[in-house]
Amino acid sequence: MKRFLFISIILGLCQQALFSQTRKRHFRQHEVGMFLGGSYYIGDLNPTAHFKLTQPAAGLFYRFTPNYRYAFRGGINFGTIMGDDSQSDNADQLQRNLNFKSTITEFNVLAEFNFLEYRISNDKFKFTTYLFLGLDVFMFKPQAQYSNQWIDLQPLHTEGQTKGYKLTQMAIPFGIGVKANVSKKIGIGLEWGPRKTFTDYLDDVSGTYSNNVYDSNTARKLADRSKNAGNNIDKQRGNPRTQDWYFFFGITLNFKLNPQAAPCHAYDH
């Protein structure tokens, strides 16, 4: 009888612990937020220098959190990326003498994994580092400065392309961040996120010099701005073996929305 009573008590405690864990870990939290920071790129005009020529960036997002360990997020970001051979100390880049800038507009869907249990409004779980991974669609439009104007490069076919590259592309965003509570309804974070693209034309530079599609003086000037302009046909202009990357980094500020009515067993807000 004593053994049966002991087992019953243990099973009851285990059931209560499992119920408490389920109640704690499964909930629904909705947030809206904003992102403020910077954007930059790695590619033919900036092969290795992170944060070089960083430009302002901003965004908005919605986050759905069903668990202390993970969340899902969707949002839109706006930024600008730039590259300029004249800012390099590499002799080949200085000789090439190209420059560009491009606006970036991206729509993303991300999954986040928290290393520590985290939830806005809960003082026991108010800080974590996290990883994120997802998919995005982004739009870009490379331009170069010529005669005190910024000229769209894609229509000029500066490398003799028979067909222009697409200005809407897919990318894989991923990265790392930290987030913490600042009040019962507000959280703040800091994150850095590379975007792996599938194009080498964020900067309009990829292959070789060509004169196949130079149908205007502007196109010729923007295709070859080197100190040896006109004598580079079929020589290497960019590196087609690598694709371009762009990056967003900065601060996030998010606000917990008022929760909807929940079942009585999910009262841990």
Is there a domain that residue 128 lies in? yes
Is there a domain that residue 153 lies in? no
Is there a domain that residue 235 lies in? no
Checking if the pLDDT of 33 tops 60, the result is yes
- Buried b / exposed e over 84-117, threshold 16 CB at 10 Å, is bbeebeeeebeebbbbbbbebebebebebebeeb
What pTM did the predictor assign?
Answer: 0.85
**What total number of domains does the chain contain?**
1
Collapsing DSSP states into helix, strand and coil, what is residue 10?
helix
pLDDT in tens, 83-98: 999 999 999 999 999 9
Query: Best-predicted range by mean pLDDT among 163-172, 212-221, 228-237?
Result: 163-172
Is there a domain that residue 13 lies in? no
Q: Give the mean pLDDT of the chain.
A: 87
Is there a domain that residue 54 lies in? yes
* Containing structural domain, residue 53: 27-148+164-197+243-256
Is there a domain that residue 129 lies in? yes
Q: From residue 115, how far is each of 143, 154, 172, 173, 207 by CA, in Å?
A: 41, 43, 21, 19, 42
pLDDT in tens, 128-163: 999 999 999 999 999 999 888 999 999 999 998 888
pLDDT at 148: 87
CB 56 within 8 A of CB 248: no
Q: Which CATH number does the domain housing residue 77 bear? A: 2.40.160.20
Checking if the pLDDT of 265 tops 80, the result is no
Is there a domain that residue 71 lies in? yes
Contacts of 124 (CB under 8 A, 6+ apart): none
pLDDT at 24: 52
Is there a domain that residue 213 lies in? no
